[in-house]
Chain A
Amino acid sequence: MFLCYVLKTASHPFFLHNPFLYNFAVDYGGSSQKRETGTCHRVTRAGNSEGERGRKVTEEKSHRDKGRRGNIKERRKGIKEKYEVEDECDEDAPKRMKNRDNKKTRKNEEGEKSKRKTKIKNVKEGNDGESDDVKWGRSKKKEKAKKKKGKQELVEESSESESFSEGGELPEKKEGFTQEELEQLKEAVDEKRKLIITLKGKPWPMRKKLVTLRESQQFLEKYEGALGKGKGKRVYACKVIVMKKWMKFQRDLENFKTACIPWEMKIKDIESHFGSSVASYFIFLRWMYGINLILFGLTFGLVMMPEALMGKPYGSMPRKTVPRGEEGGAMDFAVLWDFGGYAQYSVLFYGYYNNQRAIGWLKFRMPLSYFLVGVGTVAYSYMVVIRTMARNANRDGGGDDTSFNFSWKMFTSWDYLIGNPETADNKFASITTNFKESIVEEQESQKDDNIHLTRFLRVLANFLVLCCLAGSGYLIYFVVRRSQKFALDGLENHSWWERNEVNMVMSLLGMFCPMMFDVISSLENYHPRIALQWQLGRIFALFLGNLYTFIIALMDEINRKRSEEDAVKLNMTAWEAGLYNGTSVGNASGPVPVHPADVPRGPCWETMVGQEFVRLIISDTMTTYITLLIGDFLRALFVRFFNYCWCWDLEYGFPSYSEFDVSGNVLGLIFNQGMIWMGAFYAPCLPALNVLRLHVSMYLQCWAVMCCNVPQERVFKASGSNNFYMAMLLVILFLSTLPAIYTIVTIPPSFDCGPFSGKNRMFDVIQETLETDFPAWFGKVFSYASNPGLVLPFILVMILAIYYLQSTSKTYKVANLDLKKKLQTQNEENKKKNKKAALKAAAELEEAKNAATCRQETECGESGQDRDITTSRQDRDITTSRQDRDAPSQQLSRGKASVNPLFPGLYTEMHLTGKQIRIPHIKRRAQQFLVVVKQMHILCAFALL
C-alpha cells in the first residue's frame, strides 16, 4: 500500500518534487535562490529549537495582544475607508479580484498560524490575525489608489496602520514607527519567507503557487529593507539591494555558463523524455567529441598545417605528385570518394610528408613532430580515459548494495529528471514490474526447478553465438582475401560492390549480428541486467573479432606491399642507370629534369593502411546514418501514417516504433574510436573526419531520438554503467594501440614516402634529433638514463609504489565500509530508542488527556471559550510536497509518530494534534521528543548522504 502510494505520488506530480524545476519556477518569479536557502536554514534551525521558540511566541503574543486590542477598532475604520477608496477606483478591479483570492489562501495560512500561536480568543484573534496579514496587501493597493487619484487628504484620515504601511514602502518616513509595528512587519516578513519555503509542499495547483510566490516575493522585496534599526536602516536596505543584484548576476552567469556547454539543453531535453540511460549515451558522445577535438587540434596544428604551409608544395617531388598513370581519373568523384587520386597525394595521408629534417623559416622539425604527435595522441587518450575512470570510481564509493534491496528499489528507483508523461508512465510501469520480478525472484531463489532445461538452453545459446561469431569472422576473412585478389587483378575491372565488399560486409555484420544475439539471449532467461552485460560482451567480441580479422588481413597486405617495394627498388636503380646513360649521351650538363609524375615509386604501405582505415570509417558512418534514416525514420513514418489504414495496430503491434539502442550505439562509438586510434598515425586526417562524424551524428541522433524513437519499456538507470563504458574504452584503446605500435616498431618504413623514409625504423627519428639538435652532454645523459641498469630499478620502484597505493586505497575502502555499517547500526539503535520514547510519551499524553478532560468538565462553566489550546500541524521542513496532505495525520495522543518504518529520514512528518492540552510539562515532553526525532532525522539524512 505504501509502495503504491509512494509510486503514485512520485509519478504524478513529478514537477512538484523536482528541485530543478522548482528552482526554475522560483527563478521565474524573480527571487534569488540564495535568499531562499538562507531562510530555509534559518527556519530549520528554528524548527530544531521549536520548544523554546513556541513558548516565547506564546508569551509575546499574549503580551502584544493586549496592546493590539485597543487598536482594532481604529484599524477596522481604516480598512473600511480603504474599501471605499477601492470602490472608487475601479481601474485595477481584476487585480483586486486576484488579491481577494489570495486573501483566501492567506486565510488558510493564517488559520494555521493562529492555531500554532495558541491564542486565547480564537474567533477574534483569527479575524485580527487575518486583518493583520491582509492589511499589507490592502495598504499596497491603497498606495496605488492614492497615487492615481492624488487624494492626499486620505493619508491624514487613514489610521496609523496606513501610515505605517507607507513608512514600510518609503524608508525615509519610517521614523514614526513604533516598536510594535516593526515587530508586526518583521513577523509578516517572516511569514512570507516561511510561505515561500513551504510553498513547495502545499497541495495547490501550480498556477496558484506561482501567483502566491510572486506576490510574496514582491512583498519581501518591498519590506525587507525596512527591518533594520536606527541609522543602519538605509545601509541595510542598500546591502540587501546589492546582495540581490549580486545574486542575480551570479545566477545569470550560471545560466550563461550552462548555455555555453555545447548541446546541454538538447541533452537535458532528451533526458527528460527518455531517462538518464539514453542521455548518458549522448553525454558520452559529447565527451568523445571533446577528446577528438583535442586530437584533431594536435594533428591539425602540429602536422597537417605546417606541412601544408611550409613544406614543399604539391608537384615538387614524386611522393607529392599523382603518378602519370592515375592522372586521368585523379579528380573523379568515385576516386576521391575512395580517397585515391588527389586525396591520396595530399596532407591527409602519411605518404605525402617529406623526410626533410626541418622545414620552412621556422625550422620546424617535421618528422619529429609527426612521430611525437602520433605517440602523444595515444598517450593523451590513455591519460584522459584513466583519469575519468578514476574519478568515476571515486564516485561510486563501493559497499554492499545487496542489503536493503527492496528499500533501495523503493526509494531510489524514480528518475527525477523525467519530464515527459509518457516516459513517466513507462518508468512507473517498469518500477512496478521490477518489483514484481524481484519479489518473484526472491520467491524462486529457494526453489529452482528444471535447472537442466535452463542450463541446456544457456549452453545452446552460447553455442549459437559462438557459431555466429565464427561465421562472421570467416566471412570477413574470406572477403578480405577476395579483395586482395581483386587488388591484384586491378580494381578498375570490378564493380563498386566488389571494391567495397570488405567495408560493406563488416558494417552489415556489425549491424545485424547484435540483433541476432539479442534474439538468442531471450533463450537464456537471464535477469535483464545480466542479459545486458552478456549482450554487451558478445557484441564486444564480435566487433573485436571483426576488427582483428581485418587487421590480420591488412598485415598480409603490408607484407605483400613490402615485397613489391623490394622489386620496385631494384627496378629503380635500373631506371636511374638508364636515365643516367641516356642523359650522358645527349648533353652532359647536370641532371635531366624528369617530371616527378614520371618517376617510378614504391607502393607505400603506410598510405594504404591509412586509406583502408579512412574507408572503413566512412562506410561505417554511412551505414550508421542510413540505418538511422531507414530503420528509424522511415519506419516511424510508415507506422505513424499507415496506422490509419492497416488491419492491425502498427503502433502497438508488429513493427512498432524503434527504441534507442544504448548498448549498441555506445559500442559502435567505442569501436569507431578504436579505429581512429589505430589509423591516426598513418592518416592524420582521421581525427578531423571523426570530429565531423561525431558532430553530425550528435545532431542527427538527437533529432532521430526525439522524432522517431519511443522510450524504452524498461527505462533503466545509467549510473554505474559509465565506468563500464570507460573500461571498455580502455580495453579498446589498448587493443588498438597494440597493432599500431607493432607496425611502428617492427616494420621498416617505405623508402620513398612519408616523413621517415630512408630510416631503418620510425623511432630512429628520436635518436637523430638527440644527436643533431641537442648538445652532446644531453645525449650522453640520455644514453645513461636509458641504460637497463637504471631503467629496471626505476620500473621496480614504480611497481612497488603502485602496489603500496593500491593497498592503502583498499584499506580506506574497508574503513569506509566499516563506518557505513556503524552508521547503520547507530541508525537502528536510534530508531529503537525513538520508538520507546514515543511510546512513553504517548502513554503520558494519554494520561494527561484524561486528566485534562476531567478538569475540563469541571471548568466548563467558568471559562467558556477561553480554553481551546490547540497545538496543531507542526509542519516539518523536510517533508516533500504531497505527503503533507496525503499522509495520514497520526495523532500523538494515539502514541504513533508517523515515522516511516523503512526510511525514517525521507517522508516523515509529525502531526501533533493533541487536542485540549493544558498541562505544560506534557507539552514540553512532547516537544523534547520532537527535538529528539528531528535530530534523528538529521542524522538519518546524513547517513543517507
Chain B
Amino acid sequence: MVSPAIALAFLPLLFTLIIRYRYYFVLFYRAVLVRVVQDFLTGLSREERAFQYVLTHATPGNPDSILDAFDHWCSKVEFISNIGPKKGLVLDRLLRENSPLNVLELGTHCGYSAIRIARSLTIGARLYSVEMDKSNALVAEKAIRLAGFDDDMVELIVSTSEEVIPKLKEEYGVERLDFVFMDHWKRCYLPDLQLLEGSGLLSEGTIILADNVIFPGAPNFLRYVKRSGLYKCHMHRASLEYIRGIKDGMAELIYLGAK
C-alpha cells in the first residue's frame, strides 16, 4: 500500500504537466470536445456550421471579409485547422513574389486556403483544389463561389490526391505546376510528393509549401526532403493556427530539377 504522502509528492509533477501542456489541453477541448457536443446539438457538421456563420457575418464577393469571418469563427467559436492568418501571410508573400500560373492545392477542407490562394493569384492563373471528402467539398464549393471566384479560376476536384495527381496531365491539361500547397493528411505528404515527382509536373523552381510539418508533424516527409537533395528546403517556424503556444512550421521546398 503506497502511503498518501508519497502520492502527495507527485502533485508538483501533475501541476507541471498541466501547466506545461495546457495548450494541448485547450486544443483538445476546442477541437474535439466542443465539436462532439456541437455536432450532437445542431446535427450539422463542423464545416457547415462554419459556413453558416460566414454566410451570416461576411460580405459576399469580398474574399477578405470571408476570410476574416472564418478566422473569427475558428478562433472564437470553434476550431478548424485552417492555415490561419499568421501562416497565411507567408503563403500570400510566396504567391505574390512568384505569381504562379498553375497552382495545386491538396486538401481544400472548407475552402479557406483556396480563397486565400485565389485572392493573391494573378489574372490567368488557375488553382486546382483537391478534396477527398464530399460534404467538405460541397461546403468549400459554396464558400469559394461566395467569395466570387468562378470555375476558371478555382477548380475543385473531389477525389483523393493519389488518384488525382497522375491524372492531372491528361484530364486537366496541366503542363507544369508552379506552386503546390499541401494541407491534407500529414501521412500523405510523402507519397504525394513522390507521385508529383514521378508525374513530371514539377519543374525547376516549382515551390511546394507544406503546412503543419511540426505539429501534427510529418517527420518522414521532412527526412525524405532533406535526404533526397532534390529540393531547397526552408522552414517557416510559427505557432499552430488559432492556438498560441503550440509550435508549428511550414516547409517551403523549391524543386531543383530532376537529377
Contacts and interface: CB of A to CB of B under 8 A. Distances in A.
B10 interface: yes
Interface string A494-532: 010110010011001101110110111000000000000
B215 A479 contact: no
Nearest to A513: B12
B9 A508 contact: yes
A653 B217 contact: yes
B216 A508 contact: no
Given A649-B214, A649-B219, A520 B21 contact: no
A518 B215 CA distance: 23
B6 A468 contact: no
B40 interface: no
B218 interface: yes
B37 interface: no
A495 B24 CA distance: 39
Given A497-B3, A498-B3, A508 B10 contact: yes
B16 interface: yes
Interface in B207-221: 213-220
Contacts of A516: 12-13, 15-16, 19
B219 A501 contact: no
B8 interface: yes
Contacts of B5: 475, 478-479, 482, 501, 505
A643 interface: yes
Most chain B CB within 10 A, of A479, A497, A643, A649, is at A649
Nearest to B13: A512
A453 interface: no
B20 interface: yes
B2 interface: yes
Interface residues of A, number: 33
A501 B216 contact: no
A922 to B, nearest CB: 49
A256 interface: no
A471 B14 CA distance: 15
A594 interface: no
Given A508-B6, A515-B12, A654 B219 contact: no
Nearest to B8: A475
A425 to B, nearest CB: 12
B9 A512 contact: yes
B41 interface: no
A724 B21 CA distance: 32
A651 interface: yes
B99 to A, nearest CB: 28
B19 A520 contact: yes
Nearest to B9: A508
A531 B152 CA distance: 57
B217 A519 contact: no
A2 interface: no
Nearest to B19: A519
A641 interface: no
A942 interface: no
A650 B215 CA distance: 9
Contacts of B8: 475, 505
A749 B143 CA distance: 88
A501 to B, nearest CB: 5
Contacts of A777: none
B135 to A, nearest CB: 23
Contacts of A512: 9-13, 16
A505 B9 contact: yes
Q: With a 10 A CB-CB cut-off, give which of A498, A519, A654 has the most chain B CB atoms.
A: A519
Contacts of B20: 519
B1 interface: yes
B25 to A, nearest CB: 12
A151 B239 CA distance: 79
Contacts of A643: 219
Contact of B12 (A468, A495, A648, A651): A468
Contacts of B213: 649
Contacts of B24: 654
A647 interface: yes
A653 B12 contact: no
Interface string B165-180: 0000000000000000
B186 to A, nearest CB: 8
B9 A509 contact: yes
A651 B19 contact: no
B215 A509 contact: no
A516 B19 CA distance: 8
A31 B24 CA distance: 60
Contacts of A520: 19
A475 B9 contact: yes
A520 B219 CA distance: 31
Interface in B1-58: 1-3, 5-6, 8-13, 15-16, 19-21, 24
Nearest to A518: B16
A887 to B, nearest CB: 26
A652 interface: yes
B216 A652 contact: no
A609 B191 CA distance: 66
Nearest to B217: A649
Contacts of B11: 471, 512
A478 B4 CA distance: 11
A653 B10 contact: no
A495 B2 CA distance: 9
B12 A497 contact: no
A532 to B, nearest CB: 18
Contacts of A504: 6, 9
A672 B15 CA distance: 26
B7 to A, nearest CB: 10
A654 B9 contact: no
Contacts of B19: 516, 519-520
Contacts of B16: 512, 515-516, 518-519
B9 A648 contact: no
Contacts of A648: 186, 215-217
A464 to B, nearest CB: 9
A505 B6 contact: yes
Contacts of A519: 15-16, 19-20
Contacts of A653: 214-217, 247
B163 to A, nearest CB: 23
B216 A649 contact: yes
Contacts of B15: 516, 519
Interface in A903-918: none
Contacts of B12: 468, 472, 509, 512-513, 515-516
Nearest to A479: B5
B3 A501 contact: yes
A498 B5 CA distance: 9
Interface string A559-587: 00000000000000000000000000000
B18 to A, nearest CB: 9
Contacts of B215: 648-649, 652-653
Q: Specify which of A520, A644, A652 lies most central, judged by the most chain B CB atoms within 10 Å of its CB.
A: A652
B112 to A, nearest CB: 22
A513 B13 CA distance: 7
A396 B142 CA distance: 69
A498 B4 CA distance: 10
A30 B250 CA distance: 50
Contacts of A471: 11
Contacts of A644: 220
A650 B220 CA distance: 11
B69 to A, nearest CB: 29
A497 B219 contact: no
11 contacts: A478-B5, A482-B5, A497-B6, A504-B9, A509-B9, A519-B19, A519-B20, A520-B19, A648-B215, A649-B215, A649-B218
The 3 A-B residue pairs with the shortest CB-CB distance in the complex, in nearest-first order: A649-B217, A508-B9, A512-B12
Given A497-B6, A498-B3, A515-B13, 20 more contacts: A471-B11, A475-B5, A478-B5, A508-B6, A509-B9, A509-B12, A513-B12, A515-B12, A516-B19, A647-B186, A647-B216, A648-B186, A649-B214, A649-B215, A649-B217, A649-B218, A649-B219, A652-B214, A653-B214, A653-B217
